[in-house]
Amino acid sequence: MSVVQMSVAVEQTQTNQKQQPNLWSRLARPALGLLVPLALACGWELAVRAGLSNGRLVPPPSRIYVEFAELARSGELLRHVIATLLRVAVGFGLGTAVGTVLGAIAGYSSLLRRLLDPSLQGLRAVPSIAWIPLFILWLGIFETSKVALIAVGVFFPIYLGVMGAVLSVDRKIVEVGRAFRLTGFAMVRRILLPAVLPAYVIALRSGLGLGWMFVIAAEFMGASEGLGYLLIDGQQLGKPAEIVAAILAFAVLGKITDWIVAVIAVPFLRWEDRFSAHAGEG
């Protein structure tokens, strides 16, 4: 038995030990997060079954499931989900486009920042819901005003995120670009764009979150379809199960769309020296 063999043996046991917690963490750790909601749901279900409560105002999971399945089976759910998704998509797209362009301009040119930023910061101080009456007067009660409200909600975090990211690009890195004689568009493409990308993804995700917030406000102001309509409908007809089903749909959709943005960003941000990338392993 030589020293070399021994050291090889030690390495092997180390890799084995490493793989096991990896497998465990991949399966069991996300499941850990489900423990609390599952326990609460089961507890409430049992409480209603045992007759401790009639569950009329706070429906047990089984009743919510039945409501959800009924909505899904009749095609109602899909119709409302599509209506809401469309509004969020158009509003998010609009808000993102305008926010990105204005944020980039304000970050890049100090003159335009001095010109634009105070007004935009002033508008940002207005709670976006306050725009609803004006938007209804200007744009009518149909889709346009709803989309406009969502776009306004999405605009501000993206504008702020892009402007802040452009402003905080490291001068030293920009200097590297200058030393390699990059100017104008080449500088933007090869230095500024990659440098702001991590902050941009965060801005997109917070913008999307606000988009989902504002779509409910928009649908509260009068809609014939959409998940927000479902919420109002459930309230007016006294159907808490329908409300909870709509809330669940919101949760699922919000999570999925956020996840999509995050997943699309992953290949572009692989280079990041992130704390979580290392901390997640341990």
Give 256 or 273: the residue with its C-beta nearer to another protein.
273
Distance CA 152, CA 123 (A): 10
Q: How many helices (H) and strands (E) does the chain have?
A: 12, 0
Number of residues that bind another protein (CB under 8 A): 17
State in angstroms the smallest separation of the CB of 280 from another protein.
16
> Using CB under 8 A, which residues numbered 246 to 265 contact another protein?
none
State in angstroms the smallest separation of the CB of 173 from another protein.
6
State in angstroms the smallest separation of the CB of 161 from another protein.
18
Distance CA 65, CA 51 (A): 19
Is 49 near another protein (CB under 8 A)? Answer: no
Give 219-227 contacts, CB < 8 A, sequence gap 24+.
219/84, 219/87, 219/146, 221/132, 221/136, 221/141, 221/145, 221/146, 222/141, 223/83, 223/146, 225/79, 225/80, 225/83, 226/80, 226/83, 226/84, 226/87, 227/80, 227/81, 227/83, 227/84, 227/253
> Using CB under 8 A, which residues numbered 150 to 189 contact another protein?
172-173, 175-176, 178-181
Give 11 or 175: the residue with its C-beta nearer to another protein.
175
Give 158 or 169: the residue with its C-beta nearer to another protein.
169
Is 280 near another protein (CB under 8 A)? Answer: no
Residues forming the site for another protein (CB under 8 A): 172-173, 175-176, 178-181, 190-191, 194-195, 197, 270-273
